[in-house]
Structures are given as C-alpha cells and as structure tokens.
Amino acid sequence: MTAGSRAEPAAGAGAARTDPAQALGTALEALRDGRRDAARAAIAPLVAPLPEAAGSCVLTDPAALAGLAQHYTAAMDWSAGQLAYDVLLAAGHDQFAGKRDWLARRVSVQRDFLAHFEGQPSLARLGPVLEHRLGRPARRIETTRMRPGMVAMALYRHEVTLDGEAKPLVLVEKTFSDRESDVEKLTMQDLLFGALPAARLRAPAYHGMLRDGPFGSSLHALVPGQPLAPERWELVRRELIYHYWCQVPPARLAPGKRLLRQVLADLRRVAGGRIPDPVRAQLDDPWRADGAAAAAAAKLPVIEAALAPVPLFVMHDDLHCGNILVDGLGTPCVIDWDRWWLAPIGAGWAVPVGQREVEPMSLRRITWARALPAGVGVPQMMLAATLWAWHLAARTGRHYDAARHLERLLGWEG
C-alpha cells in the first residue's frame, strides 16, 4: 500500500530539511506557553527565505503563515494546513477560525477514510465481497493507491489472485464519501450498470458497489491504456455520441436524472428574470434588460413541446479526454460513469459559439438502430444540443458562451 503524499515545505533549503508538522507543533506549543520568540524560531525555516524584517513579524503579520496554510491545503497535506491555522489562531489572528474548523473536519474525515480503506488488509475487506461477485475465493489481493493524498475520492488498484487462476484479475476501486451528492453518484452508477451492460456504454466491466460505514466505493475492471490524445477528441467524441444515441435505455433506468427537467427549470428561472449577473452582462443589448425574460416566457412552451417527443439516451455528464482511455489499437473505453443523465437525443453534439457553421448531424446514423417519432429530426436534436451547451456553459462559469447559447435558444424558430 502506498502512503498518501505529503506536501513539501514552502521554499528554501532550510524548508527542505524541516518537518512541517514538527515545526508547527513546536511553534504552537511555544505560543500556548507565551514563548513567542521560540515560536518564531520554529516557524522561520518553513517560511524562509524572508527579508530580515519579516522574520520578526511573522507572527504579527499573518500573510506568510496564511500562505503556508494554503500551500499545505492545496497539496492535500491537511494535517499540516490545520496546524498552520492553529498557529495563526494562537498568535491572535481570530479571522482564520472558520478555515481552521473546516480543515479540522477534513482532517477527521481523512483519518476515518484511511482507517476504513487502509486500516485492514485488502483481502479481509474485499475478499468475501469478491468471492460473492466473482464466484471464487480470492487467495491474495495486492493493493496500490493510485491517487495518493485524496480524501473521500481516491482510486485503488487491486491485483486479485483467485483460486485456480495464475494470472491476477486487476480491478480499480473508486471511493466516495457519505455526502448526499456522493451517495447519489454511487447509487445512480449502480442503477446504470445494473440495467445496462457496461459494454454497451463502452465502459469497463462493473463489479458492483460497496457500502460499509460512512464511505462507499465501486469496483471496475482496470482498463489498460492512456487518456485520449486531444487531436483525436472531435472524431472520437462524435463517434461515441452517435453510439450512445443509438442505445435504447431500459425501463429500469426511469429513476435516473432527466436533463430536460433540469434545463427547462433553468429556462423558467430566466423567464422569471433570474439570470445570473455575469451572464446577463454578456447578453447583447436587446436581451440585457427584460427582453430575455419575456422571450424565455414566450419560448418555453414551444421548446417544451418540441422536445417532448424526442427519445432519450444515456448521456455521460463529464465526457472529456481524461475520461476516455484508449488501448494500443486506439479503441476507446469511457470511465467515470457516476454522473449521467437521461437526455433527449441531440444533447452532447458540439454547438460552436458565434456564427461558425455547426457540423451537420446524420439521421441515418441513428435510425438504422432505433426509430425516431414522426416530426423528430435535426431541428429538434439541435435544440437539445443547444440546451445542453447552455446548461454546461452556465454550470462551468463560461459566461460569454452561456450568453450566446441562451440567445440562440431565445431566437429558436424550429
């Protein structure tokens, strides 16, 4: 088992020889005893090199210590980050209490997380589960943490040797916390693969989810390969989209999240005048005041009626090069299916910002595999594509793009 990564000290040759937890702990103890000079001496190697004057005010001016706390937090060495905030509070900087408390909770979660996933041998934790899932006892499990340092979202690589097999089965375990959003991801992923074979989604083989205590995880076959090269993105994305559009979702997926409900709710907020200020600022003049709200109110029933008959498909919510692994033959495999939608066909198609021509869709690429209702064609599919592009741009803070897609929706004529 590989240990979680630990942050390197901030800077300087002295920092490289200083253990941050020990130095910060010494400084904290000194401050609590009223020995500020000793505290400054303990901290100095961590924030060196500093101008000579700064060395005497490192406790009175919180900038250096706050930077150190942020450094450790960003590097996911949360224990050291918490200690840095403890020192700031002991030095009298009460404005950091909220950050310290937040980080203390994270340290506690990390401690529980490591105890759960690494506090016992993998064979003891996973052996009975895998025997039930794979039909044979596991004789040995060798585990490596693939994403060290993360809490409540880590990846473990398990080499599982089964009875009667010389070659180990290699699995990836993806972990989740007990947050409501993580529980939903885990259960929705299990719903998806319980209803639809992973191969039909071009996904790795799925071996189920585990819920035990405050954490959960899912088990998948390890896919040998590398993330998709950016230069192949457009071609592979388009082929995957056509493939997914052709798959009819089983009735068992009916409890899944529906994209149309989400984007129509977003459009109702626009009709009510609730447009995020950064998006409103990017709208052209005719839409910037009440024009967008009035147009949305008028278009909403038209858009809803146009998309109501469009068949649904299973849409990956986070499709990008890093979630598409390719083997030596270039065959793509799509991972991270813990966020997905039941979306109208058309969603996911690339909709450029501005006046660039949209690449045409091919209805024949879909209708050879599944029938489309009468009246459903490229206009309705492009409407679904634009709604998704608007939702995604707004969700990811691309305000200019969101404004352009919204204007396209408000001007849609069918």
Cβ partners under 8 Å of residue 336, min gap 6: 174, 316, 318, 323
Residue 1 has pLDDT above 90, yes or no: no
> Which residue type is seen at 280?
R
* Per-residue pLDDT at 6: 35
Phi, psi of 350 (to 5 degrees): -70, 125
Give the pLDDT mean for 55-76.
78
Higher pLDDT, 135 or 3: 135
* Per-residue pLDDT at 17: 60
* Per-residue pLDDT at 348: 95
Cβ partners under 8 Å of residue 90, min gap 6: 28, 31, 32
* Per-residue pLDDT at 151: 56
Cβ partners under 8 Å of residue 278, min gap 6: 397, 399
Nearest-angstrom CA–CA distance, 412 and 303: 8
| Alpha helices by DSSP H, 48-96 | 52-56, 63-74, 78-90
User: Nearest 5 degrees, angle CA 212-CA 213-CA 216?
Assistant: 55
* Residues 340/314, Cβ–Cβ less than 8 Å: yes
In the chain, pLDDT over 90 holds for what percent of residues? 53
Q: How confident is the model at residue 67 (pLDDT cuts 50, 70, 90)?
A: confident
Nearest-angstrom CA–CA distance, 350 and 299: 22
Residue 149 has pLDDT above 70, yes or no: no
Residue 208 has pLDDT above 50, yes or no: yes
**Per the structure block, which two tokens stand in for 272?**
């009510």
Nearest-angstrom CA–CA distance, 26 and 24: 5
* Per-residue pLDDT at 285: 81
* Per-residue pLDDT at 150: 55
Q: Could you write out the DSSP letters of every residue in 315-359?
A: EETT-SGGGEEE-TT--EEE---SSEEEEEEEEES---STTPPPP
Q: How confident is the model at residue 11 (pLDDT cuts 50, 70, 90)?
A: very low
Give the pLDDT mean for 35-55.
70
Whole-number average pLDDT of the chain: 87
* Per-residue pLDDT at 10: 43
Residue 3 has pLDDT above 80, yes or no: no
Q: How confident is the model at residue 239 (pLDDT cuts 50, 70, 90)?
A: very high
> Could you give all domains of the chain from N- to C-terminal order, each with its CATH number?
12-110 (no CATH), 120-221 (3.30.200.20), 226-410 (3.90.1200)
Q: How confident is the model at residue 55 (pLDDT cuts 50, 70, 90)?
A: very low
Q: How confident is the model at residue 284 (pLDDT cuts 50, 70, 90)?
A: confident
Higher pLDDT, 4 or 264: 264
